[in-house]
Amino acid sequence: MDVTPILENLNDAQRQAVTAPAEPALVIAGAGSGKTRVLVHRAAWLIDVEGLSPQSLLAVTFTNKAAAEMRGRIETLLKLPVQHLWIGTFHGLAHRMLRRHWREAGLPQNFQIIDSDDQLRLIKRLLKNLEIDDSRWVPREIQWFINAQKDEGLRPQHLDDEGDADRRQMISLYQSYEEICQRGGLVDFAELLLRAHELLRDNAELLSHYRRRFQHLLVDEFQDTNAIQYAWLRLLAGDEGVPFVVGDDDQSIYRWRGARVEHIHRFQKDFPGTHVIKLEQNYRSTATILNAANAVIANNSSRLGKNLWTEDVTGEAIRVYSAYNERDEADFVIGRLRDWIDQGNARADAAILYRSNAQSRVLEEGLINSRIPYRVYGGLRFFERAEIKDALAYLRLISNRDDDSSFERIVNKPTRGIGARTVELMRSYARANACSLWRAAAAIASDNLNGRAANAVNAFMSTIERMARETKGLDLHDQVDHVIHASGLVDFFKKDKGEKGETRVENLLELVSAAKSFEPDPAEEMSPLDEFLSHAALEAGEGQADAWEDCVQLMTMHSAKGLEFPLVFMCGMEDGLFPHQRSIADPHGLEEERRLCYVGITRAKQALYITHAEQRRLHGMDNFSQPSRFIAEIPEEHVE
């Protein structure tokens, strides 16, 4: 048999992984080392050389796109279709199993999958039915609690309230939520994984069937598995299965999402006799960039250890720029971008990375003013973000009570008991009387609403009137600061557990920075607030390129994982920003931040710029900062 097509163009370590014996294998695949190629060629080797049927393989990826790409590449390599190969995400494979065995799983045949938004609406309805105050028991907090327990494999009956009344209520709500889902045949994303694990765990015959069928388990991005995913893998592998997992402990950056880097460290203990293979040859970056990345990540103590290297050129030194402030930083980045573009390079080959979403505002502003098209990858432009639009709607309504679109956006945000029926009454009255919603609200609160609804509408209108009085005569940035707090938006998003809520609060505070930096035009015959609102509306509509257009890429470090660019800027490299303030005192958190820095560095193929500012106005405050400790970890010989 000619194995040349499968083994050609593989380096020694890749070949060792592809042809590994039928025993558990842990492939530590460094950034840019060709891990997808190894998984594809391993599957082809098992099918074409070892003679296994495609249906005896199970391949797990972390995105549907990656699954489709892997299947396509396997079929191209083998020159035949592999329709019986189970390949997909953990959620997709769990769903497939539950559809086949719905009765054993305790589900109706036509069970419905609900997404995150559907789940949140269900929780809100539950609170309303139980007459529980959703300002005290925040729906997103309850959603986070339920999903976190499921990700750990825990049902309500497994949980101890630990003598805490609030925790007891959370467990009770979890129980009630489960009952509603069971009655309605509803399955959320976390339930897919938990229910599929329980299906196999509690059905010995079914488990035996799948263990016999799936002799080889291939898992990509193993460092990102959470507790229930790893438990599912261990259960399915049993003592006879052959797990072949590929991951990089140095790129584990999703602890806040439940990922457990320790699964890589536990794997050898849970699967005795594991072959450990390290892919260290990098096909992406210059030697200088790799040496910098190696030096930074070497400061982490809990890692298996590897050293990236390349046969490529040494490359140019990493350039570190110390800016006076965030505007000077943006000007520097845009200046270097202009040089890059003027040399005939594509704009899409350049990426600007940052730790916090709020940092994008000043960079976006500079790109718009310089007429350089850009795209925020995996996110929205600053002035398009929901929380910013909410705050601007409050400011517009304060300026103009007859602004119907702003009124509708915030009349019940944060939630204050003004439901859809009440809003429809306002709309009907406004249409019938050719007036604004504000005037309609005042009218129906007096004549058409019951006491509770009328009180809620009157309280909202009083809040707007009070904020208008209290902000009169204040400087623009103080007006914005007052409104985001007095409206309840900051407190509302603070209650949102996890990184999403924190990001929204940071963005609201960054709006204060935007107002503080805004310079009104003396020639304009409007108030500074109205001019700022006009500026925000115009910025929201400019600069953002279409997906197909050649444009500079802006993104967070987390969004950059898996991507690569010839030119990369890592901005805001200051202690307190990156590493993030909340991680500095937490050894585990600091190591995760360093892994995130490693991911950022290894996105660059040819040129890398690292920038930091001595003074930064961020989240509405002026801060004096020290350069990130990660910069000092890069050897001087690699820095210019």
- CATH code for the domain in which residue 402 is found: 1.10.486.10
Is-catalytic flag, 603? yes
**CA nearest to 500, candidates 380, 365, 593:** 380
Does the residue 106 lie in any domain?
no
Does the residue 498 lie in any domain?
yes
- Do residues 607 and 581 share a domain? yes
Looking at residue 116, what is its pLDDT?
83
- Do residues 199 and 65 share a domain? yes
Half-sphere exposure of 223 (CA within 13 A, CB side): 20
With a cut of 50, which residues of the chain have pLDDT below it?
none
Is-catalytic flag, 164? no
Looking at residue 542, what is its pLDDT?
53
- Do residues 459 and 337 share a domain? no
* SS3 state at 105: coil
- Do residues 361 and 429 share a domain? no
Is-catalytic flag, 35? yes
Looking at residue 546, the DSSP 8-state letter turns out to be P
Looking at residue 620, what is its pLDDT?
73
Please give the structure tokens belonging to residue 413. 């945000």
Domain total for the chain? 4
Does the residue 593 lie in any domain?
yes
Which residues form the domain of 305? 290-381+543-638
For residues 357 and 383, give the distance between their C-alpha atoms in angstroms, rounded to a whole number: 12
Please give the structure tokens belonging to residue 143. 């959603």
Does the residue 466 lie in any domain?
yes
Is-catalytic flag, 36? yes
Does the residue 190 lie in any domain?
no
User: From the candidates 149, 215, 251, 471, which is the catalytic residue?
Assistant: 251
Does the residue 468 lie in any domain?
yes
- Do residues 377 and 388 share a domain? no
- Do residues 88 and 50 share a domain? yes
Looking at residue 207, what is its pLDDT?
97
User: Which of 536, 568, 584 finishes a domain?
Assistant: 536
Long-range Cβ contacts of 360-365 (<8 Å, 24+ apart):
360/554, 361/510, 361/513, 361/514, 362/326, 362/327, 362/329, 362/330, 362/517, 363/330, 363/333, 363/554, 363/571, 364/539, 364/543, 364/554, 365/330, 365/539
User: From the candidates 48, 191, 220, 510, which is the catalytic residue?
Assistant: 220
- Do residues 135 and 218 share a domain? no
User: From the candidates 16, 36, 268, 415, which is the catalytic residue?
Assistant: 36
Looking at residue 498, what is its pLDDT?
67
Looking at residue 309, what is its pLDDT?
95
The three state secondary structure string of 469-537 is HHHCCCCHHHHHHHHHHHCCHHHHHHCCCCHHHHHHHHHHHHHHHHHHHCCCCCCCCCCHHHHHHHHHH
User: Which of 487, 510, 536 finishes a domain?
Assistant: 536
- Do residues 322 and 406 share a domain? no
Please give the structure tokens belonging to residue 50. 């070892």
Looking at residue 628, the DSSP 8-state letter turns out to be P
- Do residues 369 and 518 share a domain? no
User: Which of 486, 506, 536 finishes a domain?
Assistant: 536
Is-catalytic flag, 220? yes
User: From the candidates 48, 221, 365, 593, which is the catalytic residue?
Assistant: 221
For residues 406 and 427, give the distance between their C-alpha atoms in angstroms, rounded to a whole number: 14
User: From the candidates 14, 15, 35, 355, which is the catalytic residue?
Assistant: 35
Looking at residue 45, what is its pLDDT?
95
* SS3 state at 34: coil
- Do residues 32 and 154 share a domain? no
pLDDT digits (tens, 9 = 90+) for 390-415: 999 999 899 888 888 889 899 998 98
Does the residue 523 lie in any domain?
yes
Is-catalytic flag, 141? no
Looking at residue 555, what is its pLDDT?
95
Look up the pTM and report it: 0.82
What CATH number does the domain containing 9 carry? 3.40.50.300
pLDDT digits (tens, 9 = 90+) for 439-478: 988 888 877 677 788 888 899 999 999 999 999 989 999 9
- Do residues 78 and 212 share a domain? yes
Does the residue 105 lie in any domain?
no
- Do residues 312 and 362 share a domain? yes
